[in-house]
Structure 1
Amino acid sequence: MQTAEIRRRFLEHFAQRGHTVVPSASLVSPDPSLLFTVAGMVPFIPYLTGREPAPFPRATSVQKCVRTLDIEEVGKTTRHGTFFQMNGNFSFGDYFKEGAIQHAWELITGRLEDGGLGFDPDRIWVTVYLDDDEAADAWHRIAGLPVERIQRLGKKDNYWHTGAAGPGGPCSEIYFDRGPQFGPDGGPLVDTAGDRFLEIWNLVFMQYELTDVRGKEEFTVVGELPRKNIDTGMGLERVAYLLQGVDNMYEIDEVAPVLHRAADLAGVTYGKDVDADVRLRVVADHVRSGLMLIGDGITPGNEGRGYILRRLLRRAVRSMKLLGVDEATLPELLPVSKEAMKASYPELETDFARISAVAYAEEEAFRRTLTSGTTLFETAVAQARKAGSPTLSGEQAFSLHDTYGFPIDVTLEMAAEQGVTVDEAGFRALMTEQRDRARADARAKRTGSVDVLAYRRLLAEHGPTDWRAYDTLRTDSRVLGVVREGQDEGGDEGERPAGPGEITRVVLDRTPFYAESGGQVADAGILTWDGGRAEVIDVQRPVKGLVAHQVRVLEGELTEGAELTAEVDREWRLSACQAHSGTHVVHAALRQVLGPQALQSGSYNRPGYLRLDFAWQGALTAQQRTDIEDVANAAVRADHRVSASWMTLPEAQAFGALALFGETYGEQVRVVEIGGPWSRELCGGTHVRGSAQIGTLALTGESSVGSGARRVEAVVGLEGFRYLARERDLVRQLAELLKSPQDGLVDRVSGMVARLRDLDRELADLRAQQNLAAAGELAASAADVAGVAVVTGSPAGLGGGDLRTLALDVRGRLAADRPSVVLLASESGGKVALVAALNAAAVTLGLSANDVLKAASAPVGGRGGGKSDVAQGGGTDPAGIPAALQAGIQAVVTATGR
């Protein structure tokens, strides 16, 4: 049975039993503590924990998941994978244990012709929690399982909680007996390795309120929950390989095609060699994971989700290289994975141009990195061995990663291949320091140095902020809290007034201020009260539902409980709206000119300015930039109506609204339209009422921001006009300076540039002729030093490149069968260039250009190096050139021992 068919049957089974079919959430987790969605229940956590009311009593989903904690084990075992799919059904205060058990049993043992999965009931075993008699009895009554196939295990295996105070409860796991060829009989209790009795489904019964959670098995049960929930998870890949009669997840229909194509490219046969099999499984897993991650809008980078994606793609590429394939392989493998997955995820087909562009660019970048990084790695290894310590330091490994994009696992693999160890702990410590700095910066931006618990206390006491940014620029408000830097949950700092000149954070019961989010900066404005004023300089959302204003008190004292007026700067808001609406217009123009694959991946806008990052390969041509600007300004001139409406996420997707990749959305989303379908995006920002309000829009720049990503920048409104006015004045000044009409300025400058190039060529030719003449004279001046022909000289005004060319020319004019040394020094612009060049006979004699150069460098305060036959360096003291040449001659004498 194909994986897509198992998926369809699961959803259909529960839909027929009153469950709302919920589409898979993005792989980008809505939980800020997680990089990815790691389990099927993650999108439902607010409902399961009671933080939000569930919009339906029962639901079902097939959730895309990624876990990378065991990434090094992928391929080495047959059960570790990074991307997987979790089938789940959920009850929010509706049915409980008996219902969950009955639904599960009917599906797994139901006849194929009736929509079931057709598992043999006699090969099903289950586990329940030690004292969960209710679940054990239900399995016996409903499924008819004999008592010996209902095994009881402890908290480690059969109890679930979030890891914090809140809901929890026992669980029941369903196992399939694969047969005696996989191990001894006795059920899951005996088969601790899980080879024979394979877990396929876990039913979690959330029925207790837990507190004092100290670990997996250490917590206190307060009592039963008033509303009990069901959360289940069935591993789709596990069920697929059981129903498809293969041995592991790498051999199912959604993964195996990539594995076999990789084997064909490498000229190997899967199942014949252990090492090759591991690498093929790594490729198959990582290519699929990369496909799905890019499909959900993640792009390769050096941090967070982007780093995980980069690591997966690069591990796949290097595995193919280790299999002997030196050519680019993702163009061969990614389409195969797309074909295998599109039955379950048809959007992969429609979005494949963008997905493949990102993946192929990353492979090309890594192939370049492998070339340069491998050289650096080998140099570091050679240095470590020379120092007598075959260990790469944490600093060296971190430099390879941070500066050259070399993933640590590649460094570790290459080190192991060469018998060298890596100070991984040192590397991890440096990575942690870097991430901690980044997190601290982000946290400081959002909450300052305030403990987030202080904000949570205000939220618990007063509820969410009444946010009016869409409706008005002015509200009458009350101060709920004055929160100072360094204040924690129990602090009493909020009771002390904030005086003139003090910068603090203020929480109001209602506010018209837009809080920074979605790439749009916060509003500016003023707070006024009887006897006082404060300037609003930043607005953030430190916790969900709460808005905090960073203010500078100008007059009077600001206290908790004060009644005041909060007013947004009207011009600031208008300019910010122009920039944000301008971002949507530029995005639509990009897609119209370049195609639908030019999707936005990030943005930033402040009053008068916008930048937009989008997926694209290569720089835009001048004509493309002109076309994008023309399309955008045509939309401005058309004065399209700008409107916003609220709907569910599925409704918005069906409506054709574009979602910003990497963002997470709730059930209700805001759709902003400019000209109806011309621009239709999910957006929480503020906007103009009609596109004509954007005013002048001028593109000011276009650049690369990483592999497969470009950035355009633009100014709008008054800033756009000022930018064009400055360009006009610049053109006028240049025309006057060059005494040329403005429309002939380009031709005039082009002619001047051409003449300069001709003069540069003439100058280079003259310099070459001078060098040739000098080479002959220098070669003729060779002196015998301890049996070696030595040429020294100090031609003036030559840089390092020209001096090297001259030295090699001189060396070539000397007799090849006699040891020869050429040492030249030149002063140019107060700096010294040094070059030492030896012929093969001199090197055979035991002389080294490095030694000669090192001796000559000291008198000029310099340094340098190279190979045994040519070395190059420089210095800062031209007065030392005569001594430098003499020191080089002495080095020859010393080396010959004469």
Structure 2
Amino acid sequence: MQTAEIHRRWLDFFAARAHTVVPSASLVSDDPSLLFTVAGMVPFVPYLTGLVPAPFPRATSVQKCIRTNDIEEVGKTPRHGTFFQMCGNFSFGDYFKEQAITYAWELLTTSEADGGLGFEPKDLWVTVYEDDDEAREIWRRVAGLPDDRIQGLGKDTNYWSTGQPGPAGPCSEIFFDRGPAYGIDGGPATDDDRYVEIWNLVFMQYLRGEGTGKADFEILGDLPRKNIDTGMGLERVAFLKQGVENMYEIDQVRPVLDRAAALAGKTYGAIHEDDVRLRVIADHVRSALMLMSDGVTPSNEGRGYILRRLLRRTVRSMRLLGVETATFPELFTASRDAMMAAYPEVASDFTRISRLAYAEEEAFLRTLTSGTGILDTAVANTQRAGKSELAGDTAFLLHDTYGFPIDLTLEMAEEAGLSVDRKAFDSLMASQRARAKADAKAKKTALADLSVYSTFRSLGETVFTGYTELETESSVLGLIVDGESVRTARAGQVAEVILGATALYAESGGQDADAGLIVGPGYELEVLDVQKPVKGLISHTVQVRSGEVGVGSPATSVVDREYRRGARQAHSGTHIIHAALRQVLGPNAHQSGSYNKAGYLRLDFSWNQGLSAETRSEIEEISNNAIRDNLEVVTREMPLAQAKSLGAMALFGEKYGETVRVVDIGGPWSRELCAGTHVTSSAEIGMINLVSESSVGSTNRRVESLVGIEAFRDLAAERAIVSQLSGSLKTPREQLPEKIADLVASLKTAEKRIAAFEARAVLDKVPGLLDSAAHHGGVRLVAQETGTLNSADDLRLLVTTVRERLGSDPAVVALAAEVGAKPVVIVATNQAARDSGAKAGALARIAAGVLGGGGGGKDDLAQGGGASVEAIPAALAAVTQAIAG
């Protein structure tokens, strides 16, 4: 049975039993605490917890998920994959244990001919929470299972909670017995790979209190509404139904594995290590394909870093299989063909996806080439020093700076007969993770704990009136101070205000939040920020300027008109630049992110090379022509399917409901799905001034622009600078470039002449220094102060010149000078002096110690410095004493 067919049967089964079929949410999670959708229930959490009223009593979905916490296990076990699909059925206070168990057993054991999955009852085991006698009895009655095939397990395995106070409840899991060829008898309690968990039913019925870990917490009582959350692993069922050994061999994954094996000239099943690498490749290519189809692009942070890691692990695995050339064009095409039946978007968007993937592979192959050169040098230096262990900081540098995988470093070092100081490497990695974790924690907003909003959200959605109004009368539904719901907020306090309706725009879709006020009887609030902490709810962060505001008070939201005008100009300007980019560069230049506020916008787009000055000018000209032509801006609401049929562009990473807002500028010239605020005609934008274009990764570029009056002010400032230059140089404006070029050329010529004079002046000191040479301890020594010099390079030139003139007999030159108000000493030795034991590095350290600083270097040339110019004579005396000794 094909994976797509299992997918279809699941949805058909529950749809026929009054469940609302909910399409898979994006892999990019709405939850601020998650990078990705990691479980099938994640999109339903607000309904399961009661934070948001459920729009349906029961639902079903097949949800795309990504988990990378067990990435090192991928390929080694039959069931660890970074991308997987979770089939779920959910009840929000509707049915409970008996119906959930009945549905699960019915779907699993109904024959394939009758629309079920066709599992034999004799092959199925279940586990229940050890104290859940109710579930045990239902399984006996509904499934007719004997007691020995219903195993009771503890809280650590069969009890669900979020890990925090809130909903909790026992679980019941269903396992398939693969038979004695796969392990020992005894059921799931043996924790053996013979028994594969295929379905988990969570009976969310209790309220848990504080505690730690999976089992150390108390149950406070029953939930007012009991919910059902179940999940069946689609890949696990698929590999069992298809009669293959693991999830990497199912129809949606195996084609990539086979293609990788063919490219590497390997036979799958012949060598265990090769098999693991082939499974890693098959898994990671599919995961990367699905992530990019949901708008994730490779980068060095967050989701983009996870994607980049998957892609690089794939390249590395192919390299370990002996393939050092690009393979993504074949691997990604194979994955597209395997996944498009279930997810057509991977085919329709493959041009964009493949361009990102191929560019990332090419960049990493170059990285491997440069990293290999650095590693080879480090290995040679380690061997030359007679050491057997490569320094941990070298391995960390390769990993952190060059993206060179540690396991590749380990392998290549081993080939050279070296180990790697893994302890030092791991310590550096741990420090980096700690810094990253602290940074991420610092960046979390006060909106991260969402439970405080549940009461307000239960009152209904906040009505946004800002498309048509700049002032809206409403009332205060709630106040939050320091994460706690309060009744009042007084002058000087910062609080969050929840209103029934608001004209103030909440930050979303790349548009910054509105500025403005909230006013009411006896109080005035300055709006600092506007956000959507949960779907359908708008929260205003305010500073209470005067008076006291209380829950229930009348409130009028007032938008700052000038700020809104600038924000509308910037957001419409973003759409115009996007359209201009695509007109100039083609449809692959697709927006991948944006930010706009009054007077400013930035737009990130998929492209892998810098834009020439001519291309930038063309984009800017097309944009301003669109403004000059006063194109009509029309906004419409319509079903998502209709909007897409009209060619409206959906931007990656954005979430869209069934009804969407379409913004047209000049009809189809620019047609995008967008919930932001916009001008009514393009002429209102005023002006667009592209001020920069830069890289934000190997596959993304960024343009920044000033808009409206800010664009004019910037150009006016440039005009003033040009006018000032023209006046100072007494040159017409149009001749300024040539005039400045001539001045720069003249300046460089003068600088070269000055440098030559200074070098000659330095070298004029050589005869006198040679005359000062004296014998100490069998060595000719020049130890002199040379006064003030422009740079340490001048001093180095002087030292090396004197050393050359002293001939082949043992000679040491130690010269000191004042450079930039600081003492600098440089010591040089010739071969004969080094043979007699004189080392420049050691002598420089002696001098630097007297100068109050540090120094060192090689045996032939070294440098030191310090803080006290007055100590130079003493420092040179110390060098003389060391030589004499």
Provide the TM-score with structure 2 as the length reference.
Answer: 0.82
1:235 has 2:238 as partner: no
1:175 has 2:175 as partner: yes
Contact 1:328/1:363, CA 8 A, preserved across alignment: no
Partner of 2:152: 153
After TM superposition, give the deviation of residue 751 of structure 1 in Å: 2.8
1:687 has 2:678 as partner: yes
Contact 1:165/1:213, CA 8 A, preserved across alignment: yes
1:591 has 2:589 as partner: no
Partner of 1:136: 139
Q: Distance in 1 between matches of 2:868 and 2:93?
A: 83
Q: 654-663 or 325-334, which moves further after superposition?
A: 325-334
Partner of 1:553: 545
Matches within 5 A, 1:758-773: 758-761=749-752
Q: Distance in 2 between matches of 1:835 and 1:359?
A: 46
Partner of 1:198: 196
After TM superposition, give the deviation of residue 113 of structure 1 in Å: 7.8
1:578 has 2:569 as partner: yes
**Distance 1:257-1:784 versus aligned 2 partners, 3 A rule:** farther
Q: 1:602 aligns with which of 585, 593, 599?
A: 593
Q: 475-484 or 699-708, which moves further after superposition?
A: 475-484
After TM superposition, give the deviation of residue 37 of structure 1 in Å: 0.9
Q: Secondary structure at the match of 2:357?
A: helix
Partner of 2:791: 799
**Distance 1:514-1:226 versus aligned 2 partners, 3 A rule:** closer
Q: Distance in 1 between matches of 2:640 and 2:410?
A: 43
Q: Distance in 1 between matches of 2:803 and 2:25?
A: 69
Q: Secondary structure at the match of 2:717?
A: helix
Q: Secondary structure at the match of 2:691?
A: strand
Partner of 2:345: 347
Partner of 1:184: 184
Q: Distance in 2 between matches of 1:321 and 1:745?
A: 54
After TM superposition, give the deviation of residue 25 of structure 1 in Å: 1.6
Q: Secondary structure at the match of 2:626?
A: helix
Q: Distance in 2 between matches of 1:242 and 1:806?
A: 79
Q: 105-114 or 838-847, which moves further after superposition?
A: 105-114
After TM superposition, give the deviation of residue 719 of structure 1 in Å: 1.4
After TM superposition, give the deviation of residue 469 of structure 1 in Å: 2.0
Q: Distance in 2 between matches of 1:727 and 1:454?
A: 50
Q: Distance in 1 between matches of 2:116 and 2:834?
A: 80
What per-residue deviation string (whole Å, max 9, x for no partner) do you get for residues 308-333 of structure 1? 34444455555666677777776776
Amino acid at match of 1:736: G
Partner of 1:851: 842
Partner of 2:472: 475
After TM superposition, give the deviation of residue 85 of structure 1 in Å: 2.2
Contact 1:65/1:85, CA 8 A, preserved across alignment: yes
1:421 has 2:423 as partner: yes
Matches within 5 A, 1:527-542: 527-529=518-520, 533-541=524-532
Partner of 2:504: 513
Q: 772-781 or 624-633, which moves further after superposition?
A: 772-781
Q: Distance in 2 between matches of 1:327 and 1:783?
A: 63
Amino acid at match of 1:512: A
Contact 2:254/2:282, CA 8 A, preserved across alignment: yes
**Distance 1:644-1:838 versus aligned 2 partners, 3 A rule:** farther
Amino acid at match of 2:353: F
Contact 2:177/2:195, CA 8 A, preserved across alignment: yes
Identity %: 52
Amino acid at match of 2:716: A
Q: Distance in 2 between matches of 1:758 and 1:370?
A: 39
Q: Secondary structure at the match of 1:43?
A: helix
After TM superposition, give the deviation of residue 716 of structure 1 in Å: 1.1
Contact 2:208/2:221, CA 8 A, preserved across alignment: yes
Q: Distance in 2 between matches of 1:103 and 1:54?
A: 21
Q: 678-687 or 467-476, which moves further after superposition?
A: 678-687
Contact 2:101/2:139, CA 8 A, preserved across alignment: no
Partner of 1:523: 514
Contact 1:648/1:668, CA 8 A, preserved across alignment: yes
What per-residue deviation string (whole Å, max 9, x for no partner) do you get for residues 488-522 of structure 1? 34x66x27x43xx6665544443322233343333
Contact 1:580/1:685, CA 8 A, preserved across alignment: yes
**Distance 1:770-1:632 versus aligned 2 partners, 3 A rule:** same
After TM superposition, give the deviation of residue 851 of structure 1 in Å: 0.8
Q: 206-215 or 869-878, which moves further after superposition?
A: 206-215
Contact 2:790/2:820, CA 8 A, preserved across alignment: no
1:73 has 2:64 as partner: no
Q: Distance in 2 between matches of 1:886 and 1:111?
A: 98
Partner of 1:356: 357
**Distance 1:473-1:255 versus aligned 2 partners, 3 A rule:** same
After TM superposition, give the deviation of residue 631 of structure 1 in Å: 2.2
Amino acid at match of 1:679: S
After TM superposition, give the deviation of residue 174 of structure 1 in Å: 3.9
Q: 501-510 or 772-781, which moves further after superposition?
A: 772-781
Q: Secondary structure at the match of 1:472?
A: coil
**Distance 1:115-1:303 versus aligned 2 partners, 3 A rule:** same
Q: Distance in 2 between matches of 1:412 and 1:457?
A: 55
**Distance 1:714-1:355 versus aligned 2 partners, 3 A rule:** same
Q: Distance in 1 between matches of 2:280 and 2:617?
A: 45
Amino acid at match of 1:473: L
Partner of 1:297: 295
Q: Distance in 1 between matches of 2:844 and 2:544?
A: 62
Contact 2:52/2:454, CA 8 A, preserved across alignment: no
Q: 785-794 or 681-690, which moves further after superposition?
A: 785-794
Partner of 2:44: 44
Partner of 1:704: 695
**Distance 1:577-1:15 versus aligned 2 partners, 3 A rule:** same
Contact 1:838/1:849, CA 8 A, preserved across alignment: yes
Q: Secondary structure at the match of 2:614?
A: helix
1:736 has 2:727 as partner: yes
Q: 793-802 or 406-415, which moves further after superposition?
A: 406-415
Q: Distance in 1 between matches of 2:766 and 2:572?
A: 66
**Distance 1:524-1:682 versus aligned 2 partners, 3 A rule:** same
Contact 2:37/2:66, CA 8 A, preserved across alignment: yes
Q: Distance in 2 between matches of 1:433 and 1:836?
A: 41
Q: Distance in 1 between matches of 2:875 and 2:747?
A: 37
After TM superposition, give the deviation of residue 696 of structure 1 in Å: 0.8
After TM superposition, give the deviation of residue 299 of structure 1 in Å: 3.9
Contact 1:2/1:244, CA 8 A, preserved across alignment: yes
Q: Secondary structure at the match of 1:443?
A: coil
Q: Secondary structure at the match of 2:705?
A: strand
How many pairs were matched up? 867
Matches within 5 A, 1:135-534: 135-137=138-140, 140=143, 147=146, 150-154=149-153, 156=155, 157=157, 160=160, 172-189=172-189, 191-193=190-192, 195-202=193-200, 204=201, 206=203, 208=205, 210-212=207-209, 220=219, 229=228, 231-256=229-254, 278=276, 281-301=279-299, 303-316=301-314, 337-338=335-336, 340-348=338-346, 349-356=350-357, 359-360=360-361, 363=364, 367=368, 370=371, 417-422=419-424, 431-432=433-434, 435-436=437-438, 438-443=440-445, 464-480=461-477, 484=481, 486=482, 488-489=484-485, 494=488, 497-498=490-491, 506-529=497-520, 533-534=524-525
Contact 1:98/1:138, CA 8 A, preserved across alignment: no
Amino acid at match of 1:201: W
Contact 2:311/2:361, CA 8 A, preserved across alignment: no
Q: Distance in 2 between matches of 1:360 and 1:864?
A: 43
Unmatched segments (≥5 aa) in structure 2? none
After TM superposition, give the deviation of residue 710 of structure 1 in Å: 2.9
Q: Distance in 2 between matches of 1:164 and 1:40?
A: 19
Q: Distance in 2 between matches of 1:769 and 1:327?
A: 54
Q: Secondary structure at the match of 2:484?
A: coil
Q: Secondary structure at the match of 2:445?
A: helix
Matches within 5 A, 1:51-90: 51-52=51-52, 59-90=59-90
Provide the TM-score with structure 1 as the length reference.
Answer: 0.81
Q: Distance in 1 between matches of 2:322 and 2:775?
A: 53
What per-residue deviation string (whole Å, max 9, x for no partner) do you get for residues 512-562 of structure 1? 2223334333323344555665544443445551422413525x5555554
